[in-house]
Each structure stands twice: as structure tokens, then as C-alpha cells.
Amino acid sequence: MKLLYQHAKEHFNAEEELMEQLGFRNYKRHVREHNAMLEKLAEIDHKIINDEWKQSDVPEFMDKWGRHIINSDMEFNVYLKKQELESV
Ligand SMILES: [Fe+2]
């Protein structure tokens, strides 16, 4: 779980850096979503360590992450493509 957390954090940081550089208008909201997911990952890790983990924790988390990818990451992807087109 620690490796997943670290990988997610590195991925989120790289994404956030790019957003900030490009002046993405929903940067702060996106960072909040990333932070909420990292907190949830840490919470699941804590539950696993304390043997309090519930099977429903994982699909709930994956659903949240999936919605972030479909909505927020795609929103940034569209913004990124638009920036690329405008710079040509
Ligand atoms: Fe993201």
C-alpha cells in the first residue's frame, strides 16, 4: 500500500506541476481532489494495518478515483490539447 501511495503521490505531483505551469483554471479544485484521494489511501492503509479493513473500502475508493479520471483528468486533457493547438 505504501508503494501505491508513493506512486499516486508522484503522479499527482507531476500532474499538478504541469497544471500550475499552464495556468489551468481548475488547478486548486484538482489538487483538493488529489489530496482527498491520498487521504483515503492513507486511511485504507491504516485500516489494513489495524485489521479494520472492509471489503467495501476498495470499490468505494476505486469509484472515486475512476470518477476523477473520467471527469477532472479528462477536463485537463481537453485543456492541454487546446493549449497545444493554440501554440501551433
Ligand atoms: Fe488528476
Model pTM above 0.75: yes
How many other β-carbons are positioned within 10 Å of the β-carbon of residue 64?
A: 13
Query: Cα of 11 to ligand 1 centre, how many Å?
Result: 8
Query: Cα of 26 to ligand 1 centre, how many Å?
Result: 11
Task: Single out the residue of 50, 58, 54 nearest to residue 4, CA to CA.
Answer: 58
The span from the CA of 50 to the CA of 20, in Å, is 37
* pLDDT tens-digit map of 63-81: 999 999 999 999 999 999 9
* pLDDT tens-digit map of 15-61: 999 999 999 999 999 999 999 999 999 999 999 999 998 888 889 88
Query: Cα of 1 to ligand 1 centre, how many Å?
Result: 19
Cell numbers for 43: 486511511
Cell numbers for 16: 499538478
Task: Single out the residue of 37, 45, 41, 23 nearest to residue 68, CA to CA.
Answer: 37
Query: Cα of 12 to ligand 1 centre, how many Å?
Result: 6
| Dihedral of the alpha carbons of 46, 29, 70, 36, in degrees to the nearest 10 | 10
